[in-house]
Amino acid sequence: MALNYTFSIIKPDAFNTGKAGKIIAHLESQGFTLKAARVVHMSKKQAEEFYAVHRGRPFFGELVDFMSSAPCMPFVLVKDNAVHALRDAIGATDPAEAAAGTVRKLYAESKGKNAIHASDSDENAVRESRFFFAEADTI
């Protein structure tokens, strides 16, 4: 059975322009429930570790610099089939290609500064939740 929670981050572009509340309200209106949340200014090392799967990709350095440039807001959301549901709700990586009504269409600036991260598998949702939260905070 699919995991009933997933992991997300309001990225620095959205968090530092006051969009966190609007994005969370938007997701709550779609049936997601907030389970845990923090505000974190990641070090470069933390950002490299979090996005280690992308090491070697052409955008890796830019991504790490961006994610460690200012505070962001990691959070855990609960919903049935949460990983799939949140990927649908955030839209395509590039806001220009994101469907109407998705978080990235509504709030993102560009493919790099795209407002929100969402885990792409149940396995990664568990790993990424544990990166920022204790297990007791997420169950």
| Chain positions contacting Mg ion, by CB under 5 A | 120
**What are the phi and psi torsion angles at 78 (to 5°)?**
-110, 135
Which partner in ligand RTP, Mg ion, none is near 137 (CB below 5 to 8 A by kind)? none
Active-site residue identified among 26, 41, 54, 117: 117
Phi, psi (deg, nearest 5) at residue 71: -60, 150
Question: Judged by CB, which is closer to ligand RTP: 36, or 102?
Answer: 102
Cβ distance 114 to 104 under 8 Å? Answer: yes
134 vs 137: CA distance, rounded Å: 5
117 is catalytic: yes
Of 17, 33, 43, 93, the one binding ligand RTP by CB under 6 A:
93
Is position 22 an interface residue for ligand RTP (rule: CB under 6 A)?
no
